[in-house]
Structure 1
């Protein structure tokens, strides 16, 4: 389970490492271009019902921490889908990994609730 530390918030956002690796690429690309945007997620079943959104801006400190010391093999198609949503007025909407997923990582392009938790 990876973690995003954003701004001065004492509440880290926990995201599965593989999803976080893909989000990191899209987020870093957008922020490098000085483009602000939102990231939204549905709360997991073990949390109160609802959803959260954060506004990402290049002037706000951001840190990605991965549990696994080895980098994930990235899916170009999944990055493209996340980037398309990042460029929309709704911001990044996390979708499931697509059909070119590495073995053992599933292959489903329907929207889904991704294991993202705030603690």
Structure 2
């Protein structure tokens, strides 16, 4: 599992590496353009019921920590879908329960170079 640290908080948001790799790209693109948005997720089965929403804006520190040193293979269709969602009034949202069994794909080091 990857971790997203939001603001000055010490408790990370746990996400699958594959999802966080895609979310990171969408967040970076939006923040580069000075665009703020909400990020919402429904908690996983093993956590307290409910959902959490955070406000993503350039002045709030974010740190992305991945469990693998190899970068994830990015899916252009998934990136487009997440970007469209982030641009909507509802912001970027996902359900961690739907993501529990998705395969993780990684690029080889040679593919990155």
TM-score by length of 2: 0.83
1:74 corresponding residue in structure 2: 74
RMSD of aligned Cα (Å): 1.7
Whether 1:85 aligns to 2:85 is: yes
**Alpha-carbon separation, structure 1, partners of 2:66 and 2:7:** 18
1:114 corresponds, among 99, 104, 111, to 99
Gaps of 5+ in 2: 101-113
1:36-55 deviation digits (Å, cap 9, x = unpaired) = 10110111111111001110
Cα pair 2:44 2:95 within 8 Å, conserved? no
Superposed, 1:1-119 pairs within 5 Å as 1-94=1-94, 113-115=98-100
Number of equivalences: 100
Structure (1 or 2) with the greater helix fraction: 2
User: 1:114 deviation in Å?
Assistant: 3.2
Instruction: Describe the shift of the 1:95–1:25 C-alpha distance in structure 2 as closer, same or farther (beyond 3 A).
Output: farther
Which contiguous aligned blocks of 4+ residues in structure 1 show a shift greater than 3 angstroms? 112-115
Cα pair 2:43 2:95 within 8 Å, conserved? no
2:105 corresponding residue in structure 1: none
TM-score by length of 1: 0.79
1:36-94 deviation digits (Å, cap 9, x = unpaired) = 10110111111111001110110111110111100011000000000000000000023
